[in-house]
């Protein structure tokens, strides 16, 4: 699903991306759940593993290329069951949560890059291909970092406090 390139998707600071997913079959590397392209941020399959991966791309600090920070998950989601997936970048770390529990985290800082590509669910328009083979539901993007407690609330079907929505 191509959601367009609205300015609301050009998030450069803290970000949270959530989705419910059910894998039918991992049949290609890097299958995409949701992404603004390889040069911004996204949730996807972790290479050819049965786990997931959340990344943010940052502008160049040294040399001519930008760099990517990522949370490379370990939990097997290639099991035909529904899983709640959350990627969070809070300006200090990048983290991946599966079913309300932290799966992976790594120190990270800086502002993420923006690009001219559409935000897409289930595919990557920047690189082409990498279509998701399964179901994706209830994709959400927050322009702030949800706390572990708020992530647990979402997993349990509860909404985070309303005062956070104005950030």
pLDDT(68) > 50: yes
**In angstroms, how far is CA 148 from the centroid of its own chain?**
15
Q: What is the pLDDT of residues 72-93, one digit of tens each?
A: 999 999 999 999 999 999 999 9
In the three-class reduction of DSSP (H, G, I as helix; E, B as strand; rest coil), residue 62 is classed as coil
Per residue in 53-62, pLDDT (tens digit) is 999 988 876 5
Confidence class for position 166, pLDDT limits 50, 70, 90: very low
pLDDT tier at 167, thresholds 50, 70, 90: very low
Whether pLDDT at 67 is above 80 = no
Which CATH code is given to the segment(s) 7-158? 2.60.120.200
Among 36-40, 48-52, 112-116, 159-163, which stretch is predicted with the lowest mean pLDDT?
159-163
pLDDT at 78: 96
Average pLDDT estimate for 30-42: 93
Q: Say yes or no to pLDDT of 164 above 70.
A: no
Helix (H, G, I), strand (E, B) or coil at 138: strand
Sheet of 32-35, strand order: 67-72, 52-58, 41-45, 32-35, 120-121
Least confident of 7-16, 21-30, 155-164: 155-164
On whether the CB atoms of residues 112 and 40 are closer than 8 A, the answer is yes
Are 107 and 67 spatial neighbours (Cβ–Cβ below 8 Å)? Answer: no
Residue ranges per structural domain of the chain: 7-158
Q: Across residues 123-143, what is the average pLDDT?
A: 93
DSSP bridge pairs for 86 = 18, 97
């Amino acid at each position: 699903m191509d959601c367009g390139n609205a300015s609301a998707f050009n998030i450069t600071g803290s970000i949270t991306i959530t989705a419910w997913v059910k894998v039918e079959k991992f049949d290609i590397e890097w299958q995409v759940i949701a992404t603004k392209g390889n040069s911004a941020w996204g949730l996807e399959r972790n290479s050819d593993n049965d786990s997931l991966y959340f990344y943010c791309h940052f502008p160049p600090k040294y040399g001519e290329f930008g760099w990517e920070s990522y949370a490379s998950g370990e939990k097997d989601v290639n099991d035909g069951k529904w899983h709640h997936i959350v990627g969070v970048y809070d300006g200090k770390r990048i983290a991946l949560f599966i079913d309300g529990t932290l799966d992976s985290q790594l120190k990270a800082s800086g502002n993420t890059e923006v690009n001219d590509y559409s935000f897409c669910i289930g595919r990557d328009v920047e690189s082409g291909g990498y279509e998701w083979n399964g179901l994706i539901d209830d994709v959400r993007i927050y322009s702030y970092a949800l706390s572990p407690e708020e992530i647990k609330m979402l997993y349990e079907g509860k909404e985070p406090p309303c005062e956070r929505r104005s950030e």
